[in-house]
Amino acid sequence: MTTINNIPNNPRPKLKLYTVSVIVMVLSLLSCESFIEVDMPQSELTGNAVYEDVTTANAALADIYARMREGGVASGTSFGGTFLMANYADDMDFYGTNTLNEQFNKHTLLPSNANLLRLWNTTYGEIYAINALLEGVQSSAAITGDDRNRLLGEAYFLRAFNYFYLVNLFGDIPYITTTDYELNAAIGKTSATEVWNNIIQDLLLAESILPESYPSSARVRANRATVHAMLARVHLYTQNYSQAEAYATLVIESGDYSIDTDPAAAFLKDSPSIIWSFHPGIEGQNTKDATTYNFTSGPPTKPALSVNLYDSFENGDLRKTNWIAVISNPNGTWYRPFKYKLNAPTPESQEYTLLLRLEEQYLIRAEARAFNGNIPGAQADIDVIRTRAGLPATSAATQEELAAAILQERRHELFTEQCHRWFDLKRTGNAESVLSLIKPNWQMRDIWLPLPEAELSLNENLLPQNPGY
């Protein structure tokens, strides 16, 4: 296990007054206003008082998890990164009249798009709250030992998680580590290379202080394996294949996770493959994702799963029959994601939004092994996924064949999950060859989203705009 001995102290908070009771109000502001413009509101409870008790500190952390579920890069809402980027890639075909989402699907995205701005501001709002928690816990004399380590470790992980998405979506971005709004108001962009280095640093800090255990029976908060899973993904993306394989192996061989043999059970809240998930927030509620993708008649009034994706599955693939719903009438046939099947409340919550699961770790290790020249090992990992899908062993036998097979396997395993398909096309250099054939407005500029126009008008240090916009 990799550890870091010297954990730096973040700058002490510049905020004079801070309370858990205002966190929701602050982040609501951050979701619709520029994150660089918001000062913390006044309250009778000082910042020190919030972090004199581990209960209120945990409440601040819980609020961050809730905000990530309700909006931002990994949210399953209709304005969250998961849905928007499923449209941007080839997971979805566009139906309906929502012009904001249509711009994502048809690659006519304007820097003035309100959902683009919302995605940016909501995610940076979450990072602002994470930085506030880091500053508060680090300056607290009351929170010590295991409580301190868990709070800091989860916060470092969540910050890295959010920046992972921002750097993949936008490239060079502001890298914010403080709640000093005056400093943030004039901040410039950090190079993508440095952002990646900072993400790894935060994850290593989290790894060094988080315990192996979860704080509850539900896997809805980060533990050390969650960090290992994210490190495996980050190292894969940065082509450090030895480290990607090593971290994926830590998760796979931990003995804490396994893959259910029934694909229909893969997205239930007690699936043994879950590494990290979003709690629905209220007992009896289920996922935002199911509501976002649901329709019961056609033609649909919202984007549907792409015909291209549906037709790409092999005959007999159990994922096709279990994870895709077919809607037909005399006018046509349409498809929708059916990984999450419950779009209404139930007596007890049955489905949580899955963010990290064991299946991805096998695919990460397969890819890393392929590029490290371990052909049998890569084949074995792919076949773990194919066997559960009811498919025969892979026929891929060379590095090039394995790379193509893994990309296809990831498409079928991870569709409509947290931007995977878009990131896979981009990082493997396949975005142009795949999307130019099915997206008439595709341009090479589309490798990056534009920076929101409103942000550029507020802070000229964020210029220049991403190329082509």
Q: What is the CATH number of the domain that holds 154?
A: 1.25.40.390
Where does residue 162 rank: exposed (0-12), middle (13-18), buried (19+ CB within 10 A)? buried
For the segment 4-27, the average pLDDT, to the nearest whole number, is 35
**Least reliable range by pLDDT among 46-55, 108-117, 293-302, 386-395:** 46-55
The answer to whether the beta carbons of residues 125 and 133 sit under 8 Å apart is no
Classify residue 8: in a domain, yes or no: no
pLDDT of residue 224: 98
For the segment 314-322, the average pLDDT, to the nearest whole number, is 98
- Are 50 and 197 in a shared domain? yes
Per-residue pLDDT at 27 exceeds 50: no
Domain boundary among the residues 340, 375, 406 is at: 340
- Are 168 and 302 in a shared domain? no
The answer to whether the beta carbons of residues 149 and 210 sit under 8 Å apart is yes
Classify residue 239: in a domain, yes or no: no
- Are 50 and 126 in a shared domain? yes
pLDDT of residue 13: 32
- Are 67 and 185 in a shared domain? yes
Give me the phi and psi of 335, to 5 degrees please.
-130, 145
- Are 326 and 451 in a shared domain? no
- What CA–CA distances, in Å, run from 135 to 14, 48, 129, 274, 347? 9, 10, 10, 30, 39
Per-residue pLDDT at 5 exceeds 50: no
pLDDT of residue 178: 95
Q: What pLDDT digit, counting tens, does each position of 57-98 carry?
A: 999 999 999 999 999 999 999 999 999 999 999 999 999 999
Classify residue 453: in a domain, yes or no: yes
- Are 49 and 186 in a shared domain? yes
Per-residue pLDDT at 251 exceeds 90: yes
- Are 44 and 192 in a shared domain? yes
Model confidence at 48, in pLDDT bands (50, 70, 90)?
Answer: low
- Are 304 and 202 in a shared domain? no
Q: How many domains does the chain have?
A: 2
**Least reliable range by pLDDT among 176-185, 281-290, 319-328, 394-403:** 176-185
Per-residue pLDDT at 9 exceeds 50: no
Instruction: State which residues form the domain around 28.
Output: 20-222+429-460
**Least reliable range by pLDDT among 17-21, 204-208, 273-277, 357-361:** 17-21
- Indicate the average pLDDT of the chain: 91
- Are 62 and 141 in a shared domain? yes
Give the DSSP letter of residue 324.
E
Classify residue 167: in a domain, yes or no: yes
Classify residue 15: in a domain, yes or no: no
Per-residue pLDDT at 11 exceeds 70: no
- Are 162 and 47 in a shared domain? yes
Q: What pLDDT digit, counting tens, does each position of 224-249 carry?
A: 999 999 999 999 999 999 999 999 99
Q: What pLDDT digit, counting tens, does each position of 381-411 carry?
A: 999 999 999 999 999 999 999 999 999 999 9
319: nearest Cα among 383, 392, 420, 414: 414
pTM equals 0.91
Per-residue pLDDT at 208 exceeds 90: yes
Instruction: Give the span between the Cα atoms of 448 and 264, in whole angstroms.
Output: 35
Classify residue 393: in a domain, yes or no: no
- Are 207 and 295 in a shared domain? no
Per-residue pLDDT at 15 exceeds 90: no
- Are 84 and 205 in a shared domain? yes
Model confidence at 181, in pLDDT bands (50, 70, 90)?
Answer: confident
Classify residue 96: in a domain, yes or no: yes
Share of the chain above pLDDT 90, in %: 88
Classify residue 210: in a domain, yes or no: yes
Domain boundary among the residues 313, 340, 367 is at: 340
pLDDT of residue 47: 60
